[in-house]
């Protein structure tokens, strides 16, 4: 599968953005999808994940209540709605796919994801 992330930009604190992750070559419904981010000088960190059917989600604590992950398997796309953005959310955001079985847990380690999009920059000014 190939993944294409988009939707990043420069916003002010408190603003919203919606990132998209479009899959090609294979159907996205075969994969758990994760969003990760990497700020300059920091390791890539898990932000949020969604299971293949969309019934299960996982969020890192710092984004709970502000970010929402969703997916539309018919459109081969996953989304990350980010509200009330903060300067500390500034990073390159990556979507990733894990070819897991339906009942597998959503993984938080980037090493567990086999396919990655190219990243989209999110910059939040104070």
Query: How much is the average pLDDT of 49-76?
Result: 97
Question: What confidence tens digit (pLDDT) does each residue in 4-30 have?
Answer: 999 999 999 999 999 999 999 999 999
If residue 10 lies in a helix (H) or strand (E), which one and from where to where? strand 9-12
Name 23's Cβ contacts closer than 8 Å, sequence gap at least 6: 1, 2, 3, 4, 31, 76, 77, 78, 97
pLDDT digits (tens, 9 = 90+) for 94-119: 999 999 999 999 999 999 999 999 99
The pLDDT value recorded for residue 58 is: 98
Q: Is the dihedral of CA 57, 58, 60, 61 positive or negative?
A: positive
């Amino acid at each position: 599968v190939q993944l294409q992330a988009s939707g990043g930009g420069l916003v002010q604190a408190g603003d919203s953005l919606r990132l998209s992750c479009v899959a090609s070559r294979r159907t996205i419904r075969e994969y758990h999808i994760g969003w990760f981010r990497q700020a300059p000088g920091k390791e890539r960190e898990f932000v949020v994940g969604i299971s293949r059917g969309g019934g299960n989600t996982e969020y890192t604590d710092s984004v709970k209540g502000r970010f929402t992950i969703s997916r539309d398997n018919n459109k081969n796309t996953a989304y990350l709605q980010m509200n009330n953005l903060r300067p500390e959310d500034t990073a390159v955001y990556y979507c990733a796919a894990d070819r897991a079985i339906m009942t597998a847990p959503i993984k938080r380690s980037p090493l567990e994801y086999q396919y990655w999009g190219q990243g989209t920059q999110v910059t939040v000014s104070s």
